Amino acid sequence: MSILIDKETQVICQGITGKAGGFHTTMCREYGTQIVAGVTPGKSGQLFDKDIPVYDTVDFTMRNHHVDATMIFVPPLLAGDAIEEAAEAGIRLIVCITEGIPQKDMIKARATVMKYRATLIGPNCPGIISPGKSKIGIMPGYIHKPGEIGVISRSGTLTYEAVWQLTTLGLGQSTCVGMGGDPIHGVGFIDLLELFEKDDQTKGIVLIGEIGGSDEEKAAEWIGKNGTKPIVAFIAGKSAPPGRRMGHAGAIISGSSGTATDKINALKNAGVTIVDDPTEMGKTMLSVLSNKAVV
């Protein structure tokens, strides 16, 4: 199994005729993702890559195709509306790659997603991949390998680093989700931990967090009460001074909360194995699984 997507997932791209949307639609399709259509207002009737129909609206697309998921490559000032359009049309999984969306637009978009009970990954994220089955986003498919480790990350770059380490060590992945680091976002750690906990294929989880907010602390509380699978975690931003944003818009320490120390201590208390060096994520997971097998 995998979580959220598999080889049967049928996907559209909002912004398919743009440079980024077109390029990554092609990459996803080459990986094996079922791309059934695209959406760009004013481009209805065109074909992308010779056989993918383009429509003006998501609603009209849904009348002509079965659609499970969408990936959004729409400019920041229009991306919030694109998320809402997808949710209102009935798409269950929305993956928004766009970064720089105004927070007021995301507040409105997130409320719409919740109203229609859709699942939003992102924005400002690399997306999701179930290795060997499907990918929706910008992840380099070749570094992934089908297997039993789930990966959840707020950092795109560190997602790739963790995956490459796991693959090099022979540890494949069930599903990898780059959830993004914006302060107003869709799925969080707990949502994904719950899915991985229920997934029979997933035997261990790599969790990558960073300073800012309280998502990691809330995840630690959930893990302490509900987690049964081994988790290895890395928290980025140990050296960040309070009040200074580091990388993501959500990676900022405010007052006395959101520090790396807070998050590390909370996760340790929940039984999570912490790595201080990001180059040790794969080796640590291999060690944890080996020790678990011996026991």
What residues are annotated to the active site?
248
Token couple for 197: 């906990």
Q: φ and ψ at 86, to 5 degrees?
A: -65, -45
Cα dihedral 157→100→113→141 (10° resolution)? -30
> Distance (Å, rounded) from C-alpha 225 to C-alpha 215?
16
Whether 231 contacts 205, CB under 8 Å: yes
User: Among residues 122, 64, 123, which one has the least CA distance to residue 89?
Assistant: 64
Q: Are strands 47-48 and 52-55 parallel, antiparallel or unpaired?
A: antiparallel
Tell me how crowded residue 280 is: count the other CB atoms within 10 A of its CB. Answer: 14
Q: What gap in Å lies between CA 148 and CA 167, rounded to an integer?
A: 11
How does DSSP classify residue 292? H
CB–CB of 253/243 below 8 Å?
yes
- Phi and psi at 252, nearest 5°, equal -145, 135
Q: How are strands ordered across the β-sheet holding 10-14? A: 47-48, 52-55, 34-39, 10-14, 69-72, 93-96, 119-121
Helix (H) or strand (E) holding 38: strand 34-39
